Amino acid sequence: MSALTSTLQRVYGLWWIVLPPIVGSAVMAMIIGALVVAPREIIEGDVQRLLYIHFPSILAAYGAFGVVFVASLVVLWKRDLRWDAVARGAATVGVLFTGLTLATGALWGKPIWGVYWTWDARLTSTLVLFLIYAAYLLARSMADELDEQAARFAAVFAVLGALDIPLVMFSVTWWRTLHPQPIIMRGLERPAMPAEMLAVLLIAFLGIGALALWLGVLRTEAEWLAKRTATLRAKIDRHQGA
């Protein structure tokens, strides 16, 4: 246990050295790949290139929300505020990438579907996901960093939110697909992807994944520093006999 912890800490200690070059090169490779290497999609045209951000983003967001769920359980179980920082950091990243998914989807939807937004099942559940975790961040920011009770409340809300996701997906699927739809969605049943596209998509997974990890680590670190600052301030107040 402690050996594993210390190994993890040693690895984590390198984050500032290891992550930036990886993230930088992966994101650059993704951009070049998406804009230059990948062929122009015949039917959709250049707007299809948004897919290379769109699809990896939502996966990164799901990964981040998974981290929020686990970290929140640890907050409730261990009462360790470091995990509160992890949960907040991951939730910020998740909301960011869900937003990116929605935005790229809307940009793609306008030329392809003719509308920026439609109440399709997948769009709706992604939007609800965005709202749940935005509410989480909002609620957590209403109390100060060291407020253990607020951290617990936010963690309970995060657990509720995570367990709500399957129900949301299930219900919007019934809501939309079992209902006559004005707009016929072409969906993902496109023909098998050319190899170049698939390769670029793989690179994009790497780029977005590394970027999400980097941002999550930075955000967590910032949250944790804010907590330590607040603690130090409280200690100074105590020494000054306030």
Partner 1 sequence: MTTARIEAPILQTLALTKRYGGLDVVRQVAIALPAGSRTALVGANGAGKTTLLAMLSTLVTPSEGDATIVGHSLKARPAALRRAIGVLAHAPMLYEEMTPLENLGFFARLYGVAQPEPRIEELLRAVGVWNRRHEATSVLSRGYHQRLALARALLHRPAILLADEPETGLDPEGVEMLDELALRAPGLTVLAATHRVDRVEAWATGVVRLEHGRVVEDTASIAVARQGAPA
Partner 2 sequence: MNEAIGPSMAVVMKDLRLAWRDRAGWASAGAFATIAVLVYSFAFDLATGDIRPLLPGVLWTTFLFAGIFAGGQSFARESEEGTFDALLLSPVSPTMVYLGKAAANIIAMLVIEFLQLGLATILFDTNLVSLELLVIVFLGTVGSVSLTTLLSTMSASMRGRAMLLPVMALPLLVPLLIGAVRATGASLNLEVGAAPWTLLLAVAALWSAALSVLLFPIAVER
**Quick check: 92 and 137 in contact, CB under 8 A?**
yes
Q: Report CA Rg, the chain.
A: 21
3-state secondary structure the chain: CHHHHHHHHHHHHCHHHHHHHHHHHHHHHHHHHHHHHCCCECCCEHHHHHHHHHHHHHHHHHHHHHHHHHHHHHHHHHCCHHHHHHHHHHHHHHHHHHHHHHHHHHHHHHHHHCCCCCCCHHHHHHHHHHHHHHHHHHHHHCCCCCCHHHHHHHHHHHHHHHHHHHHHHHHHHHHHHCCCCCCCCCCCCCCCCCHHHHHHHHHHHHHHHHHHHHHHHHHHHHHHHHHHHHHHHHHHHHHCCC
Residue 228 within binding range of partner 1, rule CB under 8 A: yes
> What is the smallest separation between the CB atom of 178 and partner 2, expressed in angstroms?
5
Instruction: Select from 26-34, 98-106, 154-162, 222-230 the region that touches partner 1 (CB under 8 A).
Output: 222-230
Of 41 and 152, which CB lies nearer to partner 2 in the complex structure? 152
Instruction: Select from 32-40, 141-149, 168-176, 203-211 the region that touches partner 1 (CB under 8 A).
Output: 141-149
User: Which of partner 2, partner 1, none is residue 231 near (CB under 5 to 8 Å by kind)?
Assistant: partner 1
Enumerate binding residues for partner 2 (CB under 8 A): 76, 128, 131-132, 135, 138-139, 142-143, 148-150, 152-153, 156-157, 159-161, 163-164, 167-168, 170-172, 174-175, 178-180
Of 25 and 231, which CB lies nearer to partner 1 in the complex structure? 231
Helix (H, G, I), strand (E, B) or coil at 45: strand
Of 8 and 236, which CB lies nearer to partner 1 in the complex structure? 236
Q: Rounded to the nearest 5°, which phi and psi values hold at 116?
A: -70, -40
User: Which of partner 2, partner 1, none is residue 132 near (CB under 5 to 8 Å by kind)?
Assistant: partner 2
> What is the smallest separation between the CB atom of 154 and partner 2, expressed in angstroms?
9
> What is the smallest separation between the CB atom of 70 and partner 2, expressed in angstroms?
16
Residue 10 within binding range of partner 1, rule CB under 8 A: no
Between 142 and 171, how does the x/- string for binding to partner 1 read (CB under 8 A)? ---xx-x-----------------------
Residues that bind partner 1 (CB under 8 A): 79, 81, 145-146, 148, 227-228, 230-232, 234-235, 238, 241-242
